[in-house]
Structure 1
Amino acid sequence: MLNTPDPPAAIPACSVVCEGRLFNLPDICCSASNCLLPSARAFAVQIIFNLLPFGQETKMKVYQTDESGVFLYAQDAAVLPYGAVLSPPPRCDAGFVAVWDRHGSIARTSPDFGSDKINLWEIVEDHRRDTLHLVNDGQQYVIGSDTDGNTYDGLGDVPAWLTTQPRPSVLHYWSGGAWVLDEQAQQDADAAAERVWRDAEIQRVTPLRDRHRDEVEQGIEPTLSAAEYAALLIYIQALRDWPASSDFPDAAGRPEIPVGIAAPA
């Protein structure tokens, strides 16, 4: 024990805080600048070191969050790390996460952030790993990006302008929470595709007609018989009339290829 002179009666009481613990030391020392007993202050320090041995730390369980407040992991710490909280997070089912102070009511740099006197945990849906699509055109959305002034971090309910459902085709539009086929657009697309087929088929068989005509004019025995040639002419005309048919554009109702005319490869 240190040898210290007896402190005068006029020395006021003082307090010492060490490792979060408060020690009142009346009539022993004073930390004021006008203290007359430096050896007495040394005596006080000796008392503190005797109470809490050098190197000893008081640890507590803390719960670390990321910049969005999402719980990451638990750890023991002597001081509260940045972004950590003292209240344990709730258990979550798959597809959900615990988020502290979801709406940012307390700044992360504030001394009140993470206090165990309040509980700001909230369980929210987690769509950060999901593929999301814009409902206006079906394009894939990048989490956190700005789209017409809207952003979504993947936490909480999926906003109305996004969906987890991929767009089946460009002929689908978003309505009532689902992709709906535009029937008129589908018919128009089918008709356009069928006209492309019709034009290609006429182009394919027309040389057969021209060859037959040339052979006849040159007095060469025709490759096609008279019946086959007549059927070919009927087929070409049927192709021209195909868009006006009641079966158009159903491919099942296409004009039948006549016998003796090879089908397209």
Structure 2
Amino acid sequence: MKILVTIPHFFKQEQNAKYGSQRNPQPRIEALSNSILSLQQLFGKPQLMIKVGERITIPANTLSNSTLDIVICTTDTNHLINQLPLPQDLFKHNRTNAEPVLLGFECHKILQENIDKYDYYCYLEDDLIIRDANFFTKLNWFNNVTDFHKLLLPNRYELSLNQYTGKCYIDGDLLPRVTASFQNVNDEPELKGQVMNNVVIFRRALNPHSGCFFLTNEQMKYWINKDYFLDRKTDFIGPLESAATLGIMKSFKIYKPAPESANFLEIHHLGTAFMCLLGSVVKVGNN
């Protein structure tokens, strides 16, 4: 399996910052470094097992071999690439002159330019980390039992041990009116499957944003032939959310694992920006 991952990355420290990409650089360095490392460790670099008795290694996980290319898109000099504590050969650096908030669309261009070369075309915000070695195996299963018009996205989560929880999924339902002009969630609203004797439930997402997407070659070809591909419209919440979500929401029926089976497909959002809201802005329910 050949995987192409594109990551928009921007950093410029500012007063009264609205986004994490404008505040302290260290969390951004940590997030992007961890994202790249996890991708390479799980899906890029060869994996080994030590035969202790003979003191040699043998290949491991060869039944699910994959190759990986990572492209990080930046604009001007507003980035932290040179401060990453990583070998530079783990990724390719694509320099652009794009407006910072529109960097995600530069990633879309990279995906388009590489059509028919990969099995998966991926977009990942620079603070997201895949920690599941079976992530693409699960996507393959879903894609094999459904049709290409259905797109499965992961649930984003944050981790922090506090008085309420140790793990919180941060992209629960939006009010229906927010996405009503882009999608009809009543069209095939729920799917069910069985994996390793466990029932898994998938529902059309009232909040289709995950900060990422993972398209097959067939899905990518379908999307780039739409007249709105690369139109750079920002009608869904804002430019960052639109780059990650608007085009795919208009092209596919987006599903996520339902809360009952939320961890079937998930992705770690580094930090506690949402968990910090528990008990204040966000009421902690008992349901």
TM-score bucket (shorter structure): under 0.3
Task: Provide TM-score, normalisation by structure 1.
Answer: 0.19
The structure where strand makes up a greater share of residues is 2
The structure where helix makes up a greater share of residues is 2
Task: Provide TM-score, normalisation by structure 2.
Answer: 0.18
Structure of larger gyration radius = 1
User: RCO higher in 1 or 2 (8 Å CA, sep ≥ 6)?
Assistant: 2
